Amino acid sequence: MPAVGGTFYPRPVGITINRVYTRAGDNGVTRLAGGQEVSKDDARLEAYGTVDELNAVVGLVIELGEFEGELDLPAKLRRIQHELFDAGGELATLPEDLHPQQILVSAADIETLEKEMDAYNLELPTLKSFILPGGGKTSALIHQARTVCRRAERRVVALSRLQEQRTELIQYLNRLSDWFFVVGRFAAVKGQFGEILWKPGQRDGK
């Protein structure tokens, strides 16, 4: 979901990128997908930039995670990367400039996340305390994705106070952060590292 030459492109087919830098952003401005010039600290850029950051963290999970016994998880994470790119393309486009055929995250994508969470939950013990991020490298990386996803959600909610955003987009990010929480738990339990429960007041590092 990267911005190319300072411009965030919706998901195109057969795009050719010959040059990455354009120098157009040297003065602290960039252009949205519809061509509008905006400051680089604009709320819309904060939103899709954080979604882009999340996509990069998901890439780290895929590349650095250990998935023995969880062979379908990398494919699901890769699917989510595509969905995040679609979400970023939408955020980089003003509502009036969205193309009728532009691919957007949908209620079906949200339902898929919920079904996957339900399936993973069947294999997890009942949670009786908050957990600390950790439980093995894969779980720790997934929890990092969860926290960035929460921030992306906050950025999109902040943007929605200025310009109306589709409900499905906010719901998708909300559900995705829940998905990362459940899958992070699954990775810790199935990886036999176990979950690290929060013990209020504990200071001995155990």
Structural domain includes residue 92: yes
pLDDT classification of 70: cutoffs 50, 70, 90: low
Structural domain includes residue 6: no
Mean pLDDT value across the chain: 84
Structural domain includes residue 15: no
Neighbouring-strand partners of residue 197: 131
pLDDT classification of 86: cutoffs 50, 70, 90: very high
Question: Is residue 206 scored above 70 in pLDDT?
Answer: no
Listed in order, strand segments (DSSP E) in the chain are: 3-4, 7-8, 29-31, 37-39, 131-132, 196-197
pLDDT classification of 4: cutoffs 50, 70, 90: very low
Q: Higher confidence at residue 30 or residue 97?
A: 97
- Residues 134 and 142: their CA atoms lie apart, in Å, by 9
Q: Higher confidence at residue 18 or residue 62?
A: 62
pLDDT for 175:
98
pLDDT classification of 135: cutoffs 50, 70, 90: confident
Domain count, the chain: 1
Residue (of 106, 107, 104, 121) closest to 179 by Cα position:
121
Q: Which of 21-35, 86-100, 154-168, 172-186 has the lowest mean pLDDT?
A: 21-35
Structural domain includes residue 152: yes
Structural domain includes residue 59: yes
Which uninterrupted H or E stretch holds 183?
Answer: helix 167-190
pLDDT for 174:
98
Q: What is the pTM of this model?
A: 0.86
Place of tokens 């957007």: 104
User: What share of the chain has pLDDT > 90, as a percent?
Assistant: 50
Average pLDDT over residues 134-142: 92
Structural domain includes residue 17: no
Structural domain includes residue 160: yes
Question: Is residue 88 scored above 90 in pLDDT?
Answer: yes
Question: Is residue 76 scored above 70 in pLDDT?
Answer: yes
Question: Is residue 7 scored above 50 in pLDDT?
Answer: no
Assign residue 103 the CATH number of its domain: 1.20.1200.10
Q: Are 81 and 2 in contact (CB under 8 A)?
A: no
Q: Higher confidence at residue 4 or residue 94?
A: 94
Place of tokens 């929060």: 198
Structural domain range at position 95: 40-197
pLDDT classification of 144: cutoffs 50, 70, 90: very high
Structural domain includes residue 29: no
Average pLDDT over residues 152-171: 95
